[in-house]
Amino acid sequence: MLPDTLGAGLALLTPLALGFTALGVFFGLIIGALPGLGPLMGIILMLPLAITLPPVAAMGFLIAIFVGGSCGGSVSAVMLGIPGTPLSAATLFDGRPMAQKGRAADAIGIAISASALGGMLGGLVLIFFAPKLAGVASRFAPPEYAALAITGLLAIVVVSEGSLLKGLMSGAIGLIIATIGTDSFTTGYRFTFGNYNLLDGFNLVAIVVGLFAIPEMLVEIRQGGLTDRPTVEPVRPGFRGLMLTLRNWGNLLRSSAIGSFFGVLPGAGGVISSFTAYAVAKTIAPKNAGYGEGAEGGVVATESANNSTVGGTLVPSLALGVPGDASSAVLIGALLILGYFPGPQLFVQSPDVVSGIFLVYFFSNIALLVIGIAATPLFVWVLRLRKAYLIPTILLLCVLGTFALQASLFDVGAMLGFGLLGIILRAGGYPLAPLVIGVINSVGLAGL
């Protein structure tokens, strides 16, 4: 499929798309580096801006945030000993000891290089597997589509952290929320309470921003340390990290393969893949390799694995419309808002857009390598920002981003309402990602 549509996809690779992809990597690295935030929060905050862009530029922007955010956590893991995201937790094992031995620049250089190269290898999996999977799925008839819709619901099960029952309840609330608005079969109004703002249902952006961002900020406030300024030494990595990473090429290939494999499996995710890749690398390495004490191979394994997971995660997301994790669920939501239905029909009806998405994914990994290494001093400086400044900024971005969609204060109110719902559900131990998957899957399920 790719050779046929490569030209069409290239045509969509406009300077705007490339520029926003680079911007996405930059923003993703920053939000990934800030402890507590991560790629999901980055994608959510920039979703309102992205959907005003052409489709490939929009998806490039969001995917680039996913790519940059998956790597950014390694900066704080190395410099502060706190992983910016759970994805970088395994990077602590060797990244932090490297920094303590005065090799912080090398550790960050390796983390960024391994992430970029691992991401590209994950991209190959995306390019070769996604069209094949979509090709099989394009021969689906209504019974298979019904099975696919139910498979989509199974994603609720795999992204449910903690209690499965609570995950299913969260997903059921999502399915009900999606029924608000005009019923497509009878054109009657369901659950609108006479409010014309609800005729099209709730805006997905208001749902996602409210559910995730508001409770997260309140949890950050409760945890305290809002006025603390972390002490971080300046660091300037070079492309030496790339050479060090390539010296571990066997480890890089193996860990990227592990990451891609776990990415394709819905629910497995980058955290499991990075820990698995680390365990495998440590087992295979000679006893004197120094794993756990600052081994370069440890950083290569974890970072290449978690970034190659991104490419793998996009395979079922694009080809079947089945999200592998919360971030890809929001990406599917973005595609829906842009007017494209993820799944086999996307590959048949809009192959140029699919090719464009593949190409921006690759470009985002190249941008990660260049921007990541060149701008690391800035990301390290960002680590010194106090939460007391960041939290109101993020809350304001939530309000403005939601308002900007349709210049609607109703959407802002809805965002806040979903924030309150998110606070209650999160406090009760209910996972929030299934709710979003429920909202997205309701489209296919209601038609059964």
**Site of interaction with another protein (CB under 8 A):** 49, 52, 163, 165-166, 168-169, 172-173, 175-176, 179, 183, 185-186, 188-191, 193, 214, 217-219, 221-222, 226-227, 386-389, 391-393, 395-397, 399-400, 403-404, 407, 409, 412-413, 416, 419-421, 423-425, 427-430, 445-446
Interacting residues of 270 by C-beta distance below 8 A, sequence separation 6+: 70, 87, 259, 262, 263, 305, 306, 307, 309, 310
Q: Which residue, 1 or 445, is less far from another protein as judged by CB?
A: 445
Residue type, 227: T
d(CA 184, CA 95): 53
Minimum CB distance to another protein, residue 326 (Å)? 19
Minimum CB distance to another protein, residue 388 (Å)? 4
Q: Which residue, 175 or 272, is less far from another protein as judged by CB?
A: 175
Minimum CB distance to another protein, residue 176 (Å)? 5
Q: Which residue, 103 or 426, is less far from another protein as judged by CB?
A: 426
Minimum CB distance to another protein, residue 427 (Å)? 4
Residue type, 222: R
Q: Which residue, 52 or 349, is less far from another protein as judged by CB?
A: 52
d(CA 156, CA 75): 31
Minimum CB distance to another protein, residue 142 (Å)? 15
Minimum CB distance to another protein, residue 148 (Å)? 18
Minimum CB distance to another protein, residue 277 (Å)? 31
Q: Which residue, 358 or 430, is less far from another protein as judged by CB?
A: 430
Q: Which residue, 80 or 169, is less far from another protein as judged by CB?
A: 169
Minimum CB distance to another protein, residue 154 (Å)? 15
Q: Which residue, 155 or 425, is less far from another protein as judged by CB?
A: 425
Minimum CB distance to another protein, residue 26 (Å)? 16
Q: Which residue, 179 or 349, is less far from another protein as judged by CB?
A: 179
Minimum CB distance to another protein, residue 177 (Å)? 8
Short-list 203, 135, 204, CA closest to 354:
135
Phi, psi of 189 (to 5 degrees): -95, 125
d(CA 28, CA 22): 10
Minimum CB distance to another protein, residue 153 (Å)? 11
Q: Which residue, 372 or 419, is less far from another protein as judged by CB?
A: 419
Q: Which residue, 294 or 422, is less far from another protein as judged by CB?
A: 422
Q: Which residue, 171 or 321, is less far from another protein as judged by CB?
A: 171
SS (H, E, C) the chain: CHHHHHHHHHHCCCHHHHHHHHHHHHHHHHHHHCCCCCHHHHHHHHHHHHCCCCHHHHHHHHHHHHHHHHHHHHHHHHHHCCCCCHHHHHHHHHHHHHHHCCCHHHHHHHHHHHHHHHHHHHHHHHHHHHHHHHHHHCCCCHHHHHHHHHHHHHHHHHHCCCCHHHHHHHHHHHHHHCCCEECCCCCCEECCCCCHHHCCCCCHHHHHHHHHHHHHHHHHHHHCCCCCCCCCCCCCCCCHHHHHHHHCHHHHHHHHHHHHHHHHCCCCHHHHHHHHHHHHHHHHCCHHHCCCCCCHHHHHHHHHHHHHHHHHHHHHHHHHCCCCCHHHHHHHHHHHHCCCCCCHHHHHHCHHHHHHHHHHHHHHHHHHHHHHHHCHHHHHHHCCCCHHHHHHHHHHHHHHHHHHHHCCHHHHHHHHHHHHHHHHHHHCCCCCHHHHHHHHHHHHHHCC
Q: Which residue, 348 or 445, is less far from another protein as judged by CB?
A: 445
d(CA 168, CA 154): 9
Minimum CB distance to another protein, residue 431 (Å)? 11
